[in-house]
Amino acid sequence: MIIVLQPGASEAQIDHVIERVRGLGFDAHLSRGTYRTIIGVIGDETKLQAAPLAAIAGVAQVLPILPPFKLASSEAHPEPSVVNVRGVKIGGGNLGMIAGPCAIESRERLDEIATAVKAAGANILRGGAFKPRTSPYAFQGLGVEGLRILREVGDKHGLPVVTEVMDPRQIEVVDEYADMIQIGARNMQNFSLLTEVGRTNKPVLLKRGMSSTVKDLLMSAEYVLSQGNSQVVLCERGIKSFDNETRNLYDVAAVPACRKLSHLPIIVDPSHATGRPDLIPPCALAGVAAGADGVHIEVHNCPEEAMSDGPQALLPAQYAEVAKQIRAIAAVLGKTISSLEK
């Protein structure tokens, strides 16, 4: 950490900063330049997070050397992490192909969709049982009954399942049925929820918030990692923008940015990012080409009857075509799409 002093800082102020640093158990190295005086703080930066050094008189700026997301950073873990979702690997050259409806509506419908996406190459089945909707009058999901359906259909087709948790009170029941726990965009900075999910042993799919930066996303991942759960997969699903041509702004640059900053796998969700079926295939391919470790796509066999997000769902045949194209790009990049390990 580097402490930059204000121009004209007095000797008494400089001495006080050095005393404060040493009092916290760190070494201090004073360096005087022509225009600036700085103090290098030598020691474990993580122990200085709660010390308000910037509040000391004479201090202009405090610059950390290490990123605040210690556990999520590539410096802490130089090799890419691989997350194992009941035998399906994501990261380290392995692509997660997550597909399914936005919401679980019935056993029969989910079974039909699962049959189609499994045949097309999906290796993880998704479906929402608890739905965070903008309107309180919209369909909120089937709850626990939806979890039971998801588990039964996933087992029938040999697919691990992922579903969203919205509240710490739901974690126990979701943990019972799901192989992977999703934290949605609206809850990315629900730190109480992140902390509790971090205490489980289940892989976590963490979606980027609608107004969150890449570093905000990594700090949220840090909450999960700090509780001992190292199985975190990041997800770029679009952020708010002034342009209303798409549902959100699909920030494909976030993929290589995250891969540079962090060892955690990152996947893309072009369904929520664009909200348009015609844009989902090219954006899915762009994400994989940019280095994404997987693709999350909503699929429904009759979008006009969907109880949630029907307009942005692909038909099974459309998903089969884009999955074929993803496999082709994956082959060029030397990536594999793993299936459930028996």
- For the domain spanning 2-63, the CATH number is 3.30.70.1140
Q: pLDDT (tens digit, 9 = 90+) per residue, 220-272?
A: 999 999 999 999 999 999 999 999 999 999 999 999 999 999 999 999 999 99
Exposed, middle or buried: residue 179 (CB in 10 Å: 0-12, 13-18, 19+)? buried
Q: pLDDT (tens digit, 9 = 90+) per residue, 286-303?
A: 999 999 999 999 999 999
With beta carbons less than 8 A apart as the criterion, state whether 250 and 274 touch. Answer: yes
Q: pLDDT (tens digit, 9 = 90+) per residue, 79-101?
A: 999 999 999 999 999 999 999 99
Confidence tier at 125 by pLDDT (50, 70, 90): very high
With beta carbons less than 8 A apart as the criterion, state whether 149 and 175 touch. Answer: no
Q: Which residue is it, tokens 């979701």?
A: 174
Q: What 3-state DSSP class applies to 296? A: strand
Name the residue with higher pLDDT: 76 or 325. Answer: 325
Which residue intervals of the chain bear CATH 3.30.70.1140?
2-63
Q: What 3-state DSSP class applies to 45? A: helix
- The rounded distance, in Å, linking the Cα atoms of 252 and 270 is 10
- The rounded distance, in Å, linking the Cα atoms of 268 and 317 is 20
Name the residue with higher pLDDT: 207 or 136. Answer: 207
What's the whole-number average pLDDT of the chain? 92
pLDDT given at position 32: 82
With beta carbons less than 8 A apart as the criterion, state whether 196 and 168 touch. Answer: yes
Name the residue with higher pLDDT: 284 or 62. Answer: 284
pLDDT given at position 340: 55
Fold of 83-333: TIM Barrel (3.20.20)
Which residue intervals of the chain bear CATH 3.20.20.70?
83-333
Confidence tier at 341 by pLDDT (50, 70, 90): very low
pLDDT given at position 126: 97
Measuring CA to CA, how many Å separate 336 from each of 92, 121, 260?
A: 10, 12, 21
Q: Provide the 8-state DSSP code for 125.
A: E
Of residues 326, 339, 334, the one with CA closest to residue 92: 334
Q: pLDDT (tens digit, 9 = 90+) per residue, 3-41?
A: 999 988 999 999 999 998 898 888 888 888 777 888 888
Give the number of other Cβ atoms within 10 Å of residue 22's Cβ. 12
Q: Which residues pair with 32 in a beta bridge?
A: 37
Q: What 3-state DSSP class applies to 287? A: helix
- The rounded distance, in Å, linking the Cα atoms of 69 and 316 is 39
Backbone angles phi, psi at 142, to 5 degrees: -90, -5
